[in-house]
A = this chain, B = another copy of it.
């Protein structure tokens, strides 16, 4: 099985970190491929960057349509998730969505640790219908870049934030940051700590094995016959119907 770990920003170091976390979580026989958009924000932390990056994600995925068995989005805002899910011929999983669903399967409510933009996570989880299962969000006072540069210091901050969320009622804690990928293997708390890359990889494998049919109708059916201007060849082809 081939899974594509697709970053939404252009920082290759984050792509590699995420792909490594995916490899550590994958079953034997799963090949993890990685991709980074050709254009877009270096790191996503604002609403505008997230919106722009959605195009970057779809542009990148179009290159792989039909050549991978599933996609895991390596971006904690689950950028372009629904669009990619509808357009691609294979399952697409978001790292925060997968982590949230995993937390639900473990029971109760979950907290979320993040570098920035708590409002965007609150909105994202509400859009998934999971607002009632979110116990709280903790900012850690560090950036994605800090996590790459000084992982030990950021690990300590994440551990503190996770412990605080657990004390306040979280039954599990989500690591909501692509640059936090793999921290679940280094940090221990009183409740499960869920890395979205690991969760997303396992959920993607699960969907590939299940082999569900692509919807033939509704807003998740593949686009067909849609015209466009100025997009990459593969992306324009995906809209015309290659993904069906």
Contacts and interface: CB of A to CB of B under 8 A. Distances in A.
A229 B39 contact: yes
A202 B191 contact: no
Interface residues of A, number: 92
Nearest to A119: B219
Nearest to A94: B105
19 contacts: A10-B228, A27-B209, A41-B228, A42-B227, A42-B228, A46-B83, A47-B220, A48-B223, A82-B107, A85-B106, A101-B101, A104-B129, A108-B220, A119-B218, A129-B129, A166-B217, A171-B219, A190-B216, A191-B216
A17 to B, nearest CB: 18
Interface string A36-70: 00111111011111111011101000000000000
A227 B53 CA distance: 13
For the complex of A and B, list the 10 residue pairs with the smallest distance between their C-beta atoms, beginning with the closest: A39-B230, A51-B83, A55-B55, A48-B87, A192-B212, A42-B227, A190-B216, A51-B54, A119-B219, A129-B132
Interface in A213-235: 213, 215-220, 223, 226-231, 235
Interface in A71-99: 80, 82-87, 91, 93, 97-98
A140 interface: no
